[in-house]
Structures are given as C-alpha cells and as structure tokens.
Amino acid sequence: MFNTKTISNIFYSAFIIYVCINTIVYVYENYLESELKKYDLNENGFFERDEVTKDQQKVMTKVINDTARNIAPITTIPISIILAVILFLILNKRKSMLKKLE
C-alpha cells in the first residue's frame, strides 16, 4: 500500500497543501494589516487619541492576537501531512471501487 511512489505522492500533496494553507494565512495577515492602516489617518504609523475608535480596537486586537498566525508555518506541517494521507486514502479507495465495477 505504501511504496516509494505512494510516499512521494503523499509528500508532494502535503507540500502543496502546506503552501496553500500558509498562503491563506499570509493573505489574511496582510488583509488585517491593511484594515488597521485605514484607521491611521495621518499615516505616521501610530494611533493617536483621535484615531482610536472601537472599530480600530477590534482590528488591533485581531492583529496583535496573532500567535496562531505566527506559528502557522510549523503547525501546518502535521496538518498538511494528515490531509495528504486522508486524500490518498480516499483516492485509493475510490480507485479500488472503480476497479471492482469494471
């Protein structure tokens, strides 16, 4: 069931899944930062009293509570491998079911 070709296919699939997940995390991080920059009215990089609002604080909280996004490159490794194995098992089962129908 797990020969060299299978393991390499799982590895390639896991790598693609890993890149996709981390790309989504990166895009979301940039989205949050751009949302936060909208509240910096004088574009000096700091939030002064007149720039701090409840909406700004909500976005700021999302930006600074980013532990999961910071460690995403590490935590997505096992997730990617698990998803790739599940994908392989589903496709392998489908392939064997189609062979039985022939």
The tens digit of pLDDT for each residue in 41-88 reads 777 776 777 777 888 788 888 888 878 888 999 999 999 999 999 999
CA gap 18, 12 in Å, rounded: 10
Taking the alpha carbons at both ends of the chain, their separation in whole angstroms is 21
CA gap 96, 98 in Å, rounded: 5
Give me the pLDDT at residue 1, please. 59
Task: Work out the mean pLDDT of the chain and round it to a whole number.
Answer: 86
Q: For the whole model, what pTM was predicted?
A: 0.77
Confidence of residue 15 (pLDDT cuts 50, 70, 90): very high
CA gap 76, 7 in Å, rounded: 19
